[in-house]
Chain A
């Protein structure tokens, strides 16, 4: 292990390994002992998708965000990010790995899924296209990483893959959103514009991710190489402020419309806006926006955005399933749900895997390798 890395990298490495060990133990014991009964999802609530789906979906969005950052740097010749290109792509792969692991723990038959989806060709299902898009996206990520991992890599040679990152990332973001946005029977989810919102959300996640990664990798943005520091403090800050404002506005407008509407199903919004999570999301996004606009606390703003978007994703996925269906012996009020310990630990497991892979890369792979180095 290299000792030249900032202490923050070693801290992340150790904490992520510890979290990985604890979460593997808890999740393994509970899932082997109880199966999916260890989750609080239920058919008689009903609420089919809980915290694991939220986490998986979030990690995919995060990964796409990182791919957007890499793609933007390559397509628009943003030289300030060249030195972070390897890091960005590595994090995108780490986030995807965490997400896929979490999905595997959520599915009833994960190994069957690896072949049954492709072989049966159900083209009308968004969940047929999503794995295909994930596959294409992984292929482009790996190809781009392989190029920038070569000593003295050439930005011009990788540029076509920058376009490919944009295209496959954008398609995957849209495809992921379509899984929810096409569900007309779930009014909270149904929204043809959801893929656009999803792309903006991925953008702020990508920008936040690179800020956090540079902070860890260099012991703070201020310690980063000059071109990277200037870029993040300038274009990065302004871009993130713009996209954060768009996401904040979208969240507010969606809630506003939900509260105003009397469409059966949208009454869920009346419950959501009375809850603390919704306001935590709004306050965190607003605070991040204020920090970005006032010129301070870049890392704080990034962390706030990362937390706020996770809360938002959780609220969105759960809220879409809160209207009771025709099930049970008495028509219930809105479905209530709180993740079980196992579900929380599944999320921790995915997160810990992300950070462990990332920290391993920082320690072993020279993620700051610049072109021509």
Chain B
């Protein structure tokens, strides 16, 4: 069984947010609810500040704190290493949102980030939170895939509706391989500078394994013990370089 993971090369990432857009389209996400965010920030001060950016999908951790705190086992880990949410079990307590150190989870029964609220424009039927004019072909609440119902938490699924149908035993899901293209997560497939790689972390022959080994892949907030399955290539190999170092001590306006 594969252990799916992702490698993001920060030296290649241009911050174009094609990954975010692709994810929004694939998973019917609204502004403020992006499974895949690119976070911009500045490092340093005048006269030598620099603008940086940081792409952040769900880390699909080996030891996900979100899963351990979920009181109903709604958050679970598949055999192939993907952390998912069973919307049929989620009670909307939001403990997973509190326990995730990365901020990748969303409870969308909230004030809209932008007006008009598209959930009011395209009202959902039944439990579904909205009814977008374009919908992905999938609705799989047991794996947290599709239109999010009201009262539950959602997150990135590594496009589980795609990768779960991939041929068994392939080391990587590479969009350059025609027969595998349809199984590649949307953010990886649409990454213009090819900064993203997706494959089997347990397979030493996979490209992701080799990149992590050869380029000293690092994990975000590794000290939390969550052991992310998303690795960053920073060029320097230092964990700190992937994290904004200038946290503010004041509230945002």
Which residues in A have some Cβ–Cβ distance to B below 8 Å? 35-37, 39-44, 46, 48-49, 107-110, 112-113, 116-117, 119-122, 124-128, 131, 179, 183-186, 264, 267-268, 270-271, 320-336
Contact A333 B248 (CB under 8 A): yes
Closest-CB distance, B184 to chain A (whole angstroms): 23
Residue contact B72 to A122, C-beta cutoff 8 Å: yes
Cα distance A125–B249 in the bound complex, in angstroms: 31
User: CB-nearest residue of chain B relative to A265?
Assistant: B247
B73 surroundings in chain A (CB, below 8 A): 120-122
Per the bound structure, the CA–CA distance linking A323 and B100 in Å amounts to: 12
The answer to the question of B138 belonging to the interface, with a C-beta cut-off of 8 Å to chain A, is no
CA distance A202 to B33 in the complex (A): 38
Task: Tell me whether B110 and A330 are in contact (CB under 8 A).
Answer: no
Considering only residues 212-253 of chain B, those with a C-beta below 8 Å from chain A are: 220-221, 224-226, 244, 247-253
A126 touches B92 (CB 8 A): no
* Cβ–Cβ contact B101 & A46, under 8 A: no
Residues of B within 8 A of A186 (CB): 98
Tell me if A333 and B103 are in contact (CB < 8 A): no
Q: Hey, which chain B residues are within 8 Å of A179, CB to CB?
A: 95
| Contact across chains for A331 and B39 when beta carbons are under 8 A apart | yes
- Residues of B with C-beta under 8 A to A184: 224-225
Complex partner residue of A108 from B106, B111, B151, B220, CB under 8 angstroms: B151
Are A325 and B102 CB-contacts (below 8 A) given A108-B90, A109-B151, A125-B68? yes
Contact of A42 among B104, B111, B152, B251 (CB under 8 A): B111
10 pairs, CB–CB < 8 Å, chain A vs chain B: A108-B91, A122-B70, A271-B251, A325-B102, A325-B103, A329-B38, A329-B39, A331-B54, A331-B244, A335-B252
A39 (CB) vs chain B CBs: closest residue: B110
A108–B92 touching, CB < 8 Å: yes
Interface residues on B, range: 35 or more
A44 to B252 alpha-carbon distance, docked (Å): 13
* Chain A nearest CB, measured from B51 CB (Å): 11
CB–CB B68/A124 < 8 A? yes
Is B249's CB under 8 angstroms from A267's CB? yes
CB-CB contacts below 8 Å: B64-105 with A: 65, 68-74, 89-95, 97-105
A333-B92 CB under 8 A given contacts A43-B32, A43-B105, A125-B69 = no
Main secondary structure of the interface of B (DSSP, over half): loop
Residues of B within 8 A of A110 (CB): 91
A39–B41 alpha-carbon span in the complex (Å):
28
B249 / chain A contacts, CB cutoff of 8 Å: 267-268, 270-271, 333-334
Q: Is B150 an interface residue (CB 8 A)?
A: yes
Give the residues in chain A near B110, CB-CB below 8 Å: 36-37, 39, 41-44
User: When the two chains form their complex, are residues B107 and A125 in contact, meaning their CB atoms are under 8 A apart?
Assistant: no
Partner of A35, one of B37, B104, B150, B250: B150
- Taking the complex as formed, is B40 at the interface, i.e. its CB lies under 8 A from any CB of chain A? yes
Interface pair A330/B91, CB less than 8 Å apart:
no
Cα A320 to Cα B153 in complex, Å, equals 20
Pick the contact of A109: B54, B92, B95, B99 (CB < 8 A).
B92
Q: Which of B17, B97, B220 contacts A48 (CB 8 A)?
A: B97
B1: chain A residues within 8 A (beta carbon): none
Query: Which residues of A lie under 8 Å from residue B74 when comparing CB positions?
Result: 116, 120
- For A330, the closest partner residue in chain B by CB is B40
Q: Are A117 and B72 in contact (CB under 8 A)?
A: yes
**A333 B250 Cβ-Cβ under 8 A:** yes
Question: Which of chain B's residues 110-154 have a Cβ closer than 8 Å to chain A?
Answer: 110-113, 150-153
A360–B238 CA distance with the chains assembled, in angstroms: 64
A14: shortest Cβ distance to chain B, in Å? Answer: 35
Residue B108 at the chain A interface, CB threshold 8 Å: yes
Q: Do A271 and B150 touch (CB < 8 A)?
A: no
Residues of B contacting A320 with CB < 8 Å? 98
Q: Is B70 a contact partner of A125 (Cβ separation < 8 A)?
A: yes
Contacts of B93 in A (CB 8 A): 107-108, 113, 127
A267 vs B106: C-alpha distance in the bound complex, in angstroms?
25
Whether A127 contacts B68 by the Cβ 8 Å rule is: no
Asked if B56 CB lies within 8 Å of chain A CBs, one says yes
Per-position 1/0 for B174-204, Cβ under 8 A of A: 0000000000000000000000000000000
Distance (whole angstroms) from the CB of A42 to the closest CB of chain B: 5
Could you tell me the distance between the alpha carbons of A125 and B67 in the complex, rounded to whole angstroms?
9
Determine whether the beta carbon of A326 is less than 8 Å from that of B220: yes
Contact B107 A43 (CB under 8 A): yes
Residues of B within 8 A of A41 (CB): 94, 107, 110
Q: Which among A37, A325, A334 is the interface contact of B250 at CB below 8 angstroms?
A: A334
**Closest Cβ–Cβ distance, residue A360 to chain B (whole Å):** 30
B37-51 vs A, Cβ < 8 Å mask (1 yes, 0 no): 111110000000000
Q: Are B248 and A37 in contact (CB under 8 A)?
A: no
Shortest Cβ distance from residue A241 to the other chain B in the assembled complex, whole angstroms: 35
Of residues A121, A122, A184, A332, which shows the largest number of chain B Cβ atoms within 10 Å of its Cβ? Answer: A122
In the complex, what distance in Å separates the CA atom of A124 from the CA atom of B102? Answer: 20
- List of B residues within 8 angstroms of A264 by Cβ: 247
Once bound together, how far apart are the Cα atoms of A35 and B110, in whole Å? 8
Q: CB-CB < 8 A to B11: which residues of A?
A: none
Residue of A nearest to B57 (CB): A326
**Would A183 and B98 be within 8 Å (CB), given that A40-B111, A329-B38 are in contact?**
yes
Distance in angstroms from A355 CB to nearest chain B CB is 27
Given A328-B37, A332-B252, A46-B103 contact (CB < 8 Å): yes
- Please determine whether A46 and B247 come into contact, CB atoms closer than 8 angstroms: no
User: Contact between B90 and A109 (Cβ–Cβ < 8 Å)?
Assistant: yes
Asked if B95 and A107 sit within 8 Å, CB to CB, the answer is no
Bound CA span A335–B226, Å: 23
